[in-house]
Amino acid sequence: MIAVFHIFAKTLMTCIKGPHRPREILNHMYLMGIGSLPIILVATAFAGMVFTLEIAFHMDTALHTVEMIPGFTGQFVLRELGIAIPALLLVAKVGASTAAEVGTMKVTEQIDALRLLQIDPIEYLVYPRFVASIIAVASLTIISIFVTLVCAISVAVLKYNFGFLEYLNSLTQFVSDKDLLCALVKGMVFGAVIPIISCYYGFYCKAGAEGVGNATTNSVVTSTILVIVLDFLLTFAFSMIL
């Protein structure tokens, strides 16, 4: 645990004093953001459609009306669904990849070679991924919210006979800029967690293929749990503040 906080603190110090490595940051942003975009688009699109169908079914059963679909859907998408899905997908995709890559470097003594060259592994490996992940996850969160809402609106218009403007008007009564702010903050926090945990397990990976495999698995499990716990804590905090 102390090692995690050390990596995090050293990464924050690098954000302030440099070196900032813009080329590496852009490269990781492309890999994390553009590389993850197709799977996130598919997952969030179907999530939006499924959630609309489910909420409509239960609302019709309990209240015998579906007029509140826009409000329930909008708030849940902006506060949970559009944020959690990209974060958890990136944990599985980017987190696993980072842990395996850094773990392999540790096993093959490439990290020791960096130290011999007087290159700080945290500055060289963690910092670019940290900054890129924050920007990528925040950006993908906004995209996933938009795609989820578009698909939710499509189902509501085609199946439940909502008018497009009617849906948007109802939606604006329930969501606000504060919900979008909540989504962005959550996305940035989740984006900061993924590379820190992944690189930690990579740095402390045991020798051999089994060690790399265990580090990758532990990274994904730990990051997933942290995302869920932080989601609860941030949701609770925003519910008290906003």
3-class secondary structure per residue, 48-98: HHHHHHHHHHHHHHHHCCCCCHHHHHHHHHHHHHHHHHHHHHHHHHHHHHH
Dist. CA 149–CA 166, nearest whole Å: 14
d(CA 51, CA 70): 11
Where along the chain do its domains lie?
Answer: 2-12+23-235
Give the predicted TM-score (pTM) of the model. 0.89
Q: Compute mean pLDDT per 10 residues along the chain, 242 residues long, and list them.
A: 84 84 89 89 89 82 76 82 89 90 89 86 90 92 90 86 82 81 90 93 86 90 93 86 69
Give the model's pLDDT for residue 201. 92
